[in-house]
A and B are shown apart, each in its own frame.
Chain A
């Protein structure tokens, strides 16, 4: 193995030990999976019991796949916070100095932190999305409509739940590395993911809706949606691309500053 390869493997080994040796991490991950599944079950059960009161337009716009994955909306706060904490936890305790003294290759540390968190979140949340999907569809008995994996766009959307949460986790890592404080990082992430869509909705007329479709969370959400939610939607793959662009931009900014800033 080359010297660079050995260095990379050592960083990965070290970060993996750190990741798995703190109890709060598995606790948050388990909570995330439960929220995805329970959220989907509750929303599906709600639509089934309320189906008779829905009008024709609502029934036509009903997206059984998306609704069974609605737990993702709450789970993103867990995953995003975990991403922020992965970095800011080291800054607030001062451990980051020990980390960078052991591994002066700072960019490597941040990228590997992101990859480890991302891989774990992706596997776990993909499984949770499938469980939520199947449980949700099972609850959506006739006359309510339900979806099956073979329907157009459905498989992509169910995988989309895991991919979206993976990207939210990486977004959290990047924002955490940029802001370096837990409170600032979590607040920053929540503002971008939760507050911005609401704020943009207050913009009068069509402009609000046009802006909204380019917001990170709205664009990313397209990737786990089957039935478009309105006139202003980017669609699954363009939506994913826009969201990825935000995450990459935040990540690059974090890496550039990481090299320049004192710790």
Chain B
């Protein structure tokens, strides 16, 4: 269990993390989602006692991380896969970590095997691909067999095989009853991995919700209708209480009425329908809407992309 209360981090004039309150519970994959620069990594560094909060506090199993004697046995973390000494072998890297927390040497072989790096254990990590480094970082996180695991953007730069492997691993870890916190800036990734979402933007908590609820809340948002006589149907639907916009191609975009009710109104006024379609807002759209005002760094969007999204 990770608990944050009013967690705040200020760098100079910039508030990177702004009064976060959340709990990360065991048995779930919790997705920590937000645009780049939203404060995800800063929050993770504060959880690990690497950065000190300006205000508020965060505890792991009810205790500040800095006070722990053998932290790797409680918390395993992958922050940056490239944060290794390039001249050291994978085995020695893990061996030094194991020694630092009184973890049996046999665990080094076990985790190397688990991530599939046994054959390159004696090789210097400077020659590793990003995927191999990522696996080594995960091996380090698993070393102490901890009940809490944290991964910062673990699928960045991985090939599809590696992504699938990490996804499966995280779900398996949560299924074993562990607490798993995974950060990402990609909603599509989190939709496939996480059960619960913490969404942040500009350091503030925007949503703390089960994935299923987020989907339910944003589903069946509007109905697209095409009819033989669009303008007349639009008028009839407005009379029935709907809000209707007419697209250039003649499609009616209807909100405020469900598809069943629209069909009934159409029948009552003897319309010929060509299409009646529920349009579910994607999670991606829901996420865009939540974080729209909190994106820190954004290039001016090309017109065509804006059009496609609207």
Contact = CB atoms under 8 A, between A and B. Distances in A.
Contact of B51 (A13, A22, A104, A263): A263
Nearest to B42: A262
A24 B124 CA distance: 13
A52 interface: no
B96 A262 contact: no
Contacts of B102: 6, 10
A interface bracket (residues with beta carbon within 8 Å of B): 20 to 34
A90 B69 CA distance: 21
B87 A24 contact: yes
A89 to B, nearest CB: 7
Contact of B85 (A6, A14, A89, A260): A89
A11 interface: yes
Nearest to B95: A17
Contact of B71 (A3, A11, A89, A104): A104
A94 B80 contact: yes
B101 A101 contact: no
Interface centre among B66, B79, B96 (most CB of A within 10 A): B96
A98 B52 contact: no
Contact of A21 (B66, B75, B96): B96
Contact of B69 (A3, A89, A101): A3
A7 B69 contact: yes
B277 interface: no
A94 B82 contact: yes
A98 B85 contact: no
Chain B: interface size category: 20 to 34
A149 interface: no
Contact of A13 (B83, B92, B100): B100
A7 B80 CA distance: 26
Contacts of A13: 99-100
Interface in B58-99: 65-69, 71-72, 75, 77, 79-80, 82-89, 92, 95-97, 99
A218 B30 CA distance: 59
B101 A10 contact: yes
Contact of A101 (B52, B71, B84): B71
Interface in A7-21: 7, 10-11, 13-15, 17-18, 21
Interface in B192-217: none
A120 interface: no
Contacts of B79: 94, 97-98, 101
A90 B96 CA distance: 13
A93 interface: yes
A23 B87 contact: yes
Nearest to B52: A262
28 contacts: A3-B69, A6-B102, A10-B102, A11-B100, A13-B99, A14-B96, A15-B96, A17-B95, A17-B96, A18-B85, A18-B96, A23-B87, A90-B85, A93-B85, A94-B83, A95-B85, A97-B79, A98-B79, A102-B71, A102-B72, A102-B101, A104-B49, A104-B65, A104-B68, A104-B71, A262-B51, A263-B45, A263-B51
